[in-house]
Amino acid sequence: MATLARTENAASSPESEAADAYDAVGERYRTYADGDGCKPFDFSSRYSFADREIWQRIDAALIGLRTSGRTLLKVVDAGCGPGTWLLRVVLRARALGFQSIEAQGFDISSAMIDLAREEARTTTGGIPEASFIVCDIEQGLAAHRDVAADLVLCLYGVLNHLPVQRHNAVATELARATAGSLLVTARSVGSLPSIFVAGVEDALDFQHDHQRDRLCVHLKDGRHIEFGTHLFSASELKSLFADEGQVAELIGLDLFHGRFAPDTRWNPPMIADQDFNDALVRLEPLWACDARFIDRAAHVLLHLKRGVRGL
């Protein structure tokens, strides 16, 4: 069985393991995360319900800024992966009439940054407002301390891959880099099993050791990858950010869709039944903040507002 070079050689750090894991899957991660075809606003992945929920909040933040008269926008995406979220933000910001847009994404995986740069270059007309760099999250965020961003994103597995000892420092840097809204999501402690870098169907087998926060995956292509993966409870995520600003929202994303929505790509096919799908849509907001359900969502979303008094 082939094993990735850096996991074979003893001295791997959590950061190099995460980089290796995402470098190994490359384009496959993008298809998993963004759906087949990966069109910016398709929202066709298995997390499309969660993606739409996140997008609504991003869109509301952008509209709020424009409505208040802002024409300049600065946005940062920490752990941007293939750049899809940042490029969406730029396209939408242009459409809303922002005249100057500064967008930066960074990620520890060079393969993810290559994908993001390629997408920014090949999107019709190019997206020169967006820059992408390879770096660790704290280094990337520290560069924005002096001129903080209107909107900072840290979405999906980024925080999950950091060692617990780094959580407080990274939360502080995320907050410092934010002048307006920070949107963070993390995979929750009661979510369905995931291998993060691709769909579970791409794994021959995998094991998540929750005591050691380690995920070991044998991919079907023969590769073996191991990396740190810590799952969050909603209260744990909230406590990381509670002193950094106003926690405007704490909500479970996708309690029902990932588990139950009939889709031949990942759930058992069922007879397409609009009533069933409509019921899932109605159920989500009823239970998304309920303490008995929130930790069973696929992801927990936290919206932190900076510069707002009264926690």
Ligand X SMILES: C[S@@+](CC[C@H](N)C(=O)[O-])C[C@H]1O[C@@H](n2cnc3c(N)ncnc32)[C@H](O)[C@@H]1O
Output Rg (C-alpha) for the chain, integer angstroms.
19
Answer yes or no whether residue 65 interacts with ligand X by CB under 6 A.
Answer: no
Retrieve residue 187's tokens. Answer: 């995979």
Answer yes or no whether residue 22 interacts with ligand X by CB under 6 A.
Answer: yes
Torsion of CA 13, 18, 23, 24, to 10 degrees: 100
Answer yes or no whether residue 137 interacts with ligand X by CB under 6 A.
Answer: yes
Min separation Cβ 255 and ligand X, Å? 19
Answer yes or no whether residue 156 interacts with ligand X by CB under 6 A.
Answer: yes
Q: One symbol per residue from 31 to 50: x for binding ligand X (CB under 6 A), - otherwise; what is it?
A: --x-----------------
Of 50, 112, 174, 302, which one interacts with ligand X (CB under 6 A)? Answer: 112
Min separation Cβ 19 and ligand X, Å? 6
Answer yes or no whether residue 158 interacts with ligand X by CB under 6 A.
Answer: yes
Rounded CA-CA distance 282/293 in Å is 15
Answer yes or no whether residue 109 interacts with ligand X by CB under 6 A.
Answer: yes
Min separation Cβ 279 and ligand X, Å? 28
Min separation Cβ 211 and ligand X, Å? 21
Concatenating the DSSP letter of every residue in 146-169 gives SS-EEEEEE-GGGGGGS-GGGHHH
| Residue closest to ligand X (Cβ) | 81
Residue 200 is given by DSSP the state G
Reported as half-sphere exposure (CB side, CA atoms, 13 A), residue 238 has a value of 15
**The residue to which tokens 């393969």 are assigned:** 111
Of 24, 75, 80, 255, which one interacts with ligand X (CB under 6 A)? Answer: 80
Which is nearest to 213 in space by CA: 241, 236, 243?
A: 236
Answer yes or no whether residue 284 interacts with ligand X by CB under 6 A.
Answer: no
Applying the rule CB under 6 A, the residues between 222 and 281 that interact with ligand X are none
Min separation Cβ 105 and ligand X, Å? 8
Rounded CA-CA distance 40/125 in Å is 14
Residue 232 is given by DSSP the state B
Reported as half-sphere exposure (CB side, CA atoms, 13 A), residue 304 has a value of 28
Retrieve residue 93's tokens. Answer: 């910001």
Of 7, 12, 18, 149, which one interacts with ligand X (CB under 6 A)? Answer: 18
Closer Cβ to ligand X, 80 or 148, answer by number: 80
Of 20, 53, 136, 295, which one interacts with ligand X (CB under 6 A)? Answer: 136
Site size toward ligand X, by CB under 6 A: 23
Which is nearest to 171 in space by CA: 189, 184, 188?
A: 184
Closer Cβ to ligand X, 141 or 148, answer by number: 141
Of 49, 98, 132, 196, which one interacts with ligand X (CB under 6 A)? Answer: 196
Min separation Cβ 28 and ligand X, Å? 12
Which is nearest to 81 in space by CA: 125, 32, 121?
A: 32
Closer Cβ to ligand X, 228 or 245, answer by number: 228
CA of residue 215 relative to chain centroid, distance: 18
Rounded CA-CA distance 288/237 in Å is 15
Residues that bind ligand X (CB under 6 A): 15, 18-19, 22, 33, 79-81, 84-85, 107-109, 112, 136-137, 155-158, 161-162, 196
